[in-house]
Amino acid sequence: MADLEHLANYVSAILGASSSRIAYLENSNQETWFDQGFTVTAEEKTYAFDDGALIKRLAEQDNFPSDAVCAECWISYEVVRQPLDKTVSPSHISFNNACREAYWLRYFSG
């Protein structure tokens, strides 16, 4: 049976934080459009890892003015390919702002 590896280890590497994994940017696409008078930017990046895993990060944010400490945005991670000897879990996670992403990362990286 394959060992379980938490997705937080891979997200840490993607964001440049301390991690047991090493991420290599494999592909990057950015798209911008206008929606109801605001600019929306979506960025999709795919990362290959030293253990063979492949993970996609999608981040979407608009330029709607906000006084919130943590403005609304949409961030998701998806395991596109599992490593040969491990199972990354969860295989998908989404956040509606960067503060929630940071909290989740601290919680599971502690």
- Across the chain, mean pLDDT equals 90
Q: Which pLDDT belongs to residue 25?
A: 96
Q: How many angstroms from the chain centroid is the CA of residue 4?
A: 19
Tokens 């990286």 identify what position? 109
Q: Which pLDDT belongs to residue 35?
A: 86
Strand partners, 19: none
- Domain hosting residue 31, numbered range: 3-109
Please report the beta strands in the chain, taking only residues with DSSP state E, as ranges in sequence order: 3-6, 23-35, 38-49, 54-62, 72-81, 86-89, 92-97
User: Residue 106 gets which letter from DSSP?
Assistant: H
| pTM of structure | 0.89
Q: Which pLDDT belongs to residue 92?
A: 98
The number of folded domains in the chain is 1
pLDDT per residue rounded down to tens, the chain (110 residues): 345 699 999 999 999 988 889 999 999 999 999 988 888 999 999 999 999 999 999 999 888 777 767 888 999 999 999 998 889 999 999 999 999 999 999 999 86
